[in-house]
Structure 1
Amino acid sequence: MKKVNISEYKVEGPISIKGAMTKVDFQADKKAIEAELEDTRERLGKLQDTLYAHGKYAVLVCLQGMDAAGKDSLIREVFKDFNARGVVVHSFKVPTDLEKKHDFLWRHYIALPARGKFGVFNRTHYENVLVTRVHPNYILGENLPDVTSVTDVDQSFWDKRFEQINNFEKTISENGTIIFKFFLSLSKDEQKNRQLRRLHKPNKNWKFSAGDLDERDLWADYMTCYEDVLNRTSKPHAPWYVIPSDDKPAARLIVASIMLQELQQYADIKEPELDDKTKARIHEFIARLEEE
């Protein structure tokens, strides 16, 4: 079975979205891929326990992709063996009235994981340079002092917003947050197939919205925006990974493998040792318990 090579997915230079893979051949069947994922996520779960005990790093996992790219099921399968207390998932929807009274990063900042924990953003702060860029009229709802009409949402506005996002990630990285950003690269044909399945299966109908088809009509616009995001915000401290996502099991394995391989590079993430005084009395404590 082919192993996951991080360099095949990591954005380290200019990238064209048209050339992004949506499928990968692991030279293995579905059962073998799922077995490899099970082993990988178990190892990730153990690493998370160590991360929690170590208490000096947080891990932020950002998932972006078009509708039906498989974000929800990926979260369910990749984090299945985590201690529930060690991972918190946030799904960001349309900003609330309270959130609109703050800057666009505020709701993401307060949702960041504490040291020792994993935080998963299911859709992320990048929605603010994706959906709002495709629909610039949404920016008017933020009630910004220097934006009174859509004409004010010009290239300099987006340049500033990209700078703010890069600064946000640099700040949290420098303060102990390890950042993973995954773009789930889905083909338009596979999105169509998945949306049709939602409509054909009554128990999946709830996932469908008529608005999903309206957004699908804007596919080319979204791809242009995603390409800009990948090229302008993939940094050494906060890299993007483009994950071929037409095959869900393969996508899950790639994401889990990347996280495990990268986190294993942090040699300082270790369980803390007992202090010498307590360690010297271990046998005494054992004896007291066994004598009860």
Structure 2
Amino acid sequence: MELFLQQLLDGLATGALYGALALSVVLVYRASGIVNFAQGEMAMFAAFLTWQAHTWGVPLVLAIGLSMLIAFAFGAGVERVLIRPFGTTAAAHLSLIIVTLGLMLVLTSGAGWTWGYLTKQVPPVFGEGVVDVGASAMSRQALGIILAVAVMSVLLYFLFQKTRLGLDMRAAASNPESARLSGIPVGRMLMLGWGLAGAIGALVGALAAPQLFLQPNMMAAMLLYAFAAATLGGFDSPVGALIGGLLVGVLENMAGTYIDIIGNDFKQAVALIIIMAVLLFKPEGLFGSRTVARV
């Protein structure tokens, strides 16, 4: 039972990161109708910015805040410069996916060219040490990750549910034409959606870097887990993305512990299995909206 509780706690900590990155994927999907394959690399690049600022003497928390601001501006710029010119038609979606794949490669190469490919050690944001949780224990970093993602989720809830700006963003994402007729600047709202996704990714990158060790390819596996979380929760459901991330994190840990054939070296297969199972049996995910089309 103690082992089960320990794996559950560890799974919730990693799942919180998966859910937060999945949330950034979902925000982009709701804004533009595409899956941004560069989301992980955008988070990685922001993590390098955090590390660089910290090595220059900026306090770590302030460095994370600065990288989130830069990532926000970068995400908004990507939507304006690379995404919007292609339009939002179904025919443009394949072109947009290829653009995000190209951006992924550019960011990976750019990080390697700028900072090199050797791993860099990033100090944990919440310090060293452990915290007792019943019969088990969590590192302060893991507990801090859960709390940070929880606070971020609450802030986003108030943004989208309690503010005019959030309501405008939701309207622009769900029905752009009606929102435009109502006087909402749809283009600006979609830019803000991409910017928020970039800022969330920057936070995820900074929180994940101490565990993954900072290097240009560090977010590749995490992006797969984020896709699994978004698929499980529903690509049009921010709440589903967060819950899906927690479920994926727990399932991954439990499978690695209790299924010998998977172990610690084959846990990425869990994400692929989840994606395939959901797409086969419940394509809209646990919290997504079912699409109804007239034939």
TM-score tier, shorter chain, comes to: under 0.3
Structure with more strand by fraction: 1
TM-score by length of 2: 0.26
Report which of the two structures shows the higher radius of gyration computed on alpha carbons: 1
